[in-house]
Amino acid sequence: MSILITNIKELVQVRNTNVTLVEGDDMKHLPTLQNAYLYIEHDTIVEYGSMKDLAGIEAEEIIDATGKTVLPTWCDSHTHIVYAGDRTQEFVDRINGLSYEAIANRGGGILNSAEKLQITSEDELYNQAAKRLTEVIKLGTGAIEIKSGYGLTVEAELKMLRVIKRLKKEFPIKVKPTLLAAHAIPKEFKNNKIGFIDLVVNEMIPAVAKDRLADYIDVFCEKGYFDLEDTQRVLEAGKKHGLIPKIHVNQFNAFGGVALGVKYNALSVDHLEELNPDDIIALKSSNTIPVALPGCSYFLSIPYTPARQLIDAGLPLALATDYNPGSTPSGNMNFVVSAACIKMKMTPEEAINAATINGAYAMSISNMYGSICRGKKANIIITKPIPSYHYLAYAFGDNHIDTVIINGQRYE
Ligand code: NIG
Ligand code: FE
């Protein structure tokens, strides 16, 4: 199978060399090619160039992209799309004045989702997650990380991870699974947090590692959830079993979780709505990428991650959705890109770099995903006719996507 896309108004995120991460000032630069073509064979980007140089290339299918923008699919490095039901009641309660914290303290929040998940069958859980995954692919997501964390028992966490494994098998996009082992303290361990960490370290992590159900280990490092010591124990056990840390830190409070993540060589530290100068110093001497989740800030009305501080300090930044029932019931990366520009003062160039190549880095797949580069996977968004790629961020709330190509095939 081969596809030739012709007359592309602007081909975005074109990289002649296989760049795998874009940092600091370089994020302001988004290479593009105007009046271009793109040639795909099987699942691979084979060639691209200027229309005037298009000679001798024949393909089984030709797509005329006159007036349209073409870019790599979004790489969403932080989601929790396997969950049961929704939390609309808590949403209304928050509108009426209750805080996210107050809802969690009365046994809602993550514990509410865990209760629902535990009584939901594996097939039903798969069906709900598959529907969400189908929708986000149509919105241009071509690679995704998915976390467990609503199980809170060994059995239910394994169930979640098996659902993720099945999504990985059934769907054409890249799926990276994460064991979010310590997400909240289960009711049964209310006064015995150490007992729960023991369970995570001695049973949950070894069971998951034995079945090779996860690549990454995650912890919700936060006041009222898991402190630095708990986080350290979980990361250490995860690393012992070959799981790479990717952690939730600084969502509501900054108390050294970033430096701890860096110490354990975390691939990413995610959230960072709160940030201390020390966090930036820790990140400066690391390969750990910060990940911002503006959909969460929007939905919970909490501060946005200070992207300018991070990027202006020379650091890389990735953008992801955090798609989950409690803090971000949306997996729309187009909205994330737009919100990053509008609320975090990222330029469209920075936001698109953050949502493509840097998102891929935050899943260790940026050698094959996240840019238009010869030899990379043919995961492509073709927009409707739009004036420029700036318009994707500017005209927020509309769907500008015309066609999504995954592994060289139209996704319908
Ligand atoms: O990333 N912060 C922790 N976990 C999720 C939300 C969990 C929930 O409320 O269900 C997050 O925002
Ligand atoms: Fe999250």
The residues that bridge with 12 in the sheet, in sequence order, are 32
Model confidence at 87: pLDDT above 90: yes
Check pocket membership of 379 for ligand 1, CB cut-off 6 A: no
Residue 375's closest CA among 48, 9, 11?
48
Q: Which ligand is nearest to the CA of 226?
A: 1
Check pocket membership of 247 for ligand 1, CB cut-off 6 A: no
Percent of the chain clearing pLDDT 90 (strictly above): 99
**Index of the ligand 1 atom closest to the CA of residue 325:** 10
**Index of the ligand 1 atom closest to the CA of residue 328:** 12
Q: Specify the pairing of strand 2-12 against strand 32-41.
A: antiparallel
Output the CA–CA distances (angstroms, integers) from residue 146 to 106, 218, 308, in the order listed. 27, 11, 27
pLDDT at 385: 98
Q: How do residues 21-63 score in pLDDT, each as one tens digit? A: 999 999 999 999 999 999 999 999 999 999 999 988 999 999 9
Check pocket membership of 109 for ligand 1, CB cut-off 6 A: yes
Backbone torsions φ then ψ of 14, nearest 5 degrees: -90, 125
Check pocket membership of 79 for ligand 1, CB cut-off 6 A: no
Determine contact, residues 305/298, Cβ cutoff 8 Å.
no
Mutation test residue for ligand 1: of 81, 82, 110, the one with most atoms within 8 Å of CB: 110
What is the residue type of 151? G
Q: Which residues of 127-143 are buried (b: 16+ CB within 10 A; e: fewer)?
A: ebbbebbeebbebbbbb
Ligand 1 atom 11, closest CA: 327
Determine contact, residues 138/404, Cβ cutoff 8 Å.
yes
Q: Distance, CA 110 to ligand 1 centroid (Å)?
A: 7
Q: How do residues 274-307 score in pLDDT, each as one tens digit? A: 999 999 999 999 999 999 999 999 999 999 999 9
Q: Distance, CA 402 to ligand 2 centroid (Å)?
A: 29
**Index of the ligand 1 atom closest to the CA of residue 150:** 10
SS (H, E, C) 123-157: HHHHHHHHHHHHHHHHCCEEEEEEECCCCCCHHHH
Check pocket membership of 108 for ligand 1, CB cut-off 6 A: no
Check pocket membership of 298 for ligand 1, CB cut-off 6 A: no
What mean pLDDT comes out for the span 148-158? 98
Indicate the average pLDDT of the chain.
Answer: 98
Check pocket membership of 366 for ligand 1, CB cut-off 6 A: no
Residue 355 burial (10 A CB sphere; 0-12, 13-18, 19+): buried
Structure tokens at 264: 């354990």
**Index of the ligand 1 atom closest to the CA of residue 296:** 12
What is the residue type of 301? S
Q: How do residues 133-152 score in pLDDT, each as one tens digit? A: 999 999 999 999 999 999 99
**Index of the ligand 1 atom closest to the CA of residue 220:** 3
Check pocket membership of 103 for ligand 1, CB cut-off 6 A: no
Q: Which ligand is nearest to the CA of 149?
A: 1
Give how far the C-alpha of residue 89 lies from the chain's centroid of Cα atoms, to the nearest Å: 26
Mutation test residue for ligand 1: of 248, 301, 304, the one with most atoms within 8 Å of CB: 248
Residue 105: CA atoms inside 13 Å, Cβ hemisphere, count? 7
Ligand 1 atom 12, closest CA: 327
**Index of the ligand 1 atom closest to the CA of residue 271:** 1
Check pocket membership of 295 for ligand 1, CB cut-off 6 A: no
SS (H, E, C) the chain: CEEEEEEEEEEECECCCCCCCCEHHHHHCCCEEEEEEEEEECCEEEEEEEHHHCCCCCCCEEEECCCEEEEECEEECCCCCCCCCCCHHHHHHHHCCCCHHHHHHCCCCHHHHHHHHHCCCHHHHHHHHHHHHHHHHHCCEEEEEEECCCCCCHHHHHHHHHHHHHHHHHCCCEEEEEEEEECCCCHHHCCCHHHHHHHHHHHHHHHHHHCCCCCEEEEEECCCCECHHHHHHHHHHHHHCCCEEEEEECCCCCCCHHHHHHHCCCCEEEECCCCCHHHHHHHHCCCCEEEECHHHHHHHCCCCCCHHHHHHCCCECEECCCCECCCECCCCHHHHHHHHHHHHCCCHHHHHHHHCHHHHHCCCCCCCCCCECCCCECCEEEEEECCCCHHHHHCCCCCCEEEEEECCEECC
Domain 75-361 has CATH 3.20.20.140: yes
Check pocket membership of 113 for ligand 1, CB cut-off 6 A: yes
pLDDT at 55: 86
For the chain, give every residue range classified as CATH 2.30.40.10.
Answer: 2-72+368-410
Query: Distance between CA atoms of 37 and 63, rounded to whole angstroms?
Result: 10
Model confidence at 263: pLDDT above 90: yes
In this structure, CATH architecture of domain 2-72+368-410: Roll (2.30)
Q: Which ligand is nearest to the CA of 84?
A: 1
Q: Distance, CA 55 to ligand 2 centroid (Å)?
A: 47
Give the other-Cβ count within 10 Å of 101's Cβ. Answer: 11
Q: Distance, CA 326 to ligand 1 centroid (Å)?
A: 6
What mean pLDDT comes out for the span 239-250? 98
For the chain, give every residue range classified as CATH 3.20.20.140.
Answer: 75-361
